[in-house]
Homo-oligomer: A and B are copies of this chain.
Amino acid sequence: MIARICLVALSIIIECTAVVNGADPLPSWNSGAAKDAIVTFVSKVTTEGSSDFIPISERIAVFDNDGTLWSEQPMYVQAFFVFDRIRTLAPQHPEWKDKEPYASVLKGDLKTVLSGGERALIEMVMATHSGMTSEQFEQIVRDWIATARHPKTGKLYTEMVYQPMLELLSYLRANEFKTYIVSGGGIEFMRPWVEAVYGIPPEQVIGSSIRTKFEVRDGVPQIVRLPELNFIDDKEGKPVGIQQHIGRRPVAAFGNSDGDLQMLQWTAAGSGQRFCMYVHHTDAEREFMYDRQSHVGKLDKGLDEAKTRGWTIVSMKDDWGRIFP
């Protein structure tokens, strides 16, 4: 106990030394307006005695995941997971051979699958994410994320996270912000790996969910996953999810699409200093280039509103010295 406490104190002193030494906490960020805006905000709100000071308990920072912390092209990573689940489960579902959207997934005709839009995706999520216990599902996700690879880059998906955003998460936490994920993706699809990858614990993950129920099966208490929608944590759902889980309004919000706009609006509308940022995908060479016309991660209204309101817009091409770790 004492030894551990001393270790904690020591780690605080080491962190403190880094701050005093003035080491750049955001080395993958190029100098410029975006980096300046981040550092200025953090330094303002953490300066005691300043009128802009924000108490530690209120330092809530929320991050979208797909397209903000990791790549979301050509499809959300969770969609690849769903397709792999459908292939794995197909022998138990002979009816899928003739039933859309499953038939097209099994034929590898992803264009037809995607033409079904959000509705088809939700149906497939419910079919493939239910019927097991919460612990079984966690293990399925762990096994998949450890080995599945991006179809274009051949990298593990967890290698396609953005290095500058990892640095930003660490920088905020070093300044005693509590960092949350607020994603349209499945809450239980993210929880098994985000702590190792982003340093964000499961209790700081907010996402979409299916219903579950508690029951005692053969004497063993279990949480069973049901094929029914519970909550969609996207667009207007994001502020609702934030209030449900956190009960405080964030002071900083980070997104990349119109699906994040309401979260940024809700954050910006609080009193005192606020920081809202959009990651703008402008780098066709090192990542992907898309915004107003994209089917995945469309950024249109949000881009206009960010410009009008003076939110920080990060150009991946210009503001990030490197993209992946």
Contacts and interface: CB of A to CB of B under 8 A. Distances in A.
Interface string A199-239: 00111010001001111100011010000000000001111
B262 A239 contact: no
A48 B3 contact: yes
Given A245-B245, A269-B221, A20 B2 contact: yes
Count chain B CB atoms within 10 A of each CB in A46, A223, A265 and give the residue with the most: A223
Interface in A41-95: 46-48, 57, 60
Contact of A12 (B9, B236, B239, B265): B9
Contacts of A175: 1
A187 interface: yes
Count chain B CB atoms within 10 A of each CB in A2, A6, A209, A243 and give the residue with the most: A243
Query: Does more than half of chain A's interface fall in helix, strand or loop, or is it mixed?
Result: helix
A40 interface: no
B248 A203 contact: yes
Nearest to A2: B16
Given A1-B47, A213-B236, 20 more contacts: A2-B16, A2-B19, A4-B48, A5-B12, A5-B15, A6-B16, A9-B9, A9-B12, A134-B243, A187-B244, A188-B247, A191-B247, A203-B248, A212-B243, A214-B237, A214-B240, A215-B236, A221-B265, A223-B239, A223-B266
Interface of A: 1-6, 8-9, 12-13, 15-16, 19-20, 46-48, 57, 60, 134, 175, 178, 187-188, 191, 195, 201-203, 205, 209, 212-216, 220-221, 223, 236-240, 243-248, 262, 265-266, 268-269
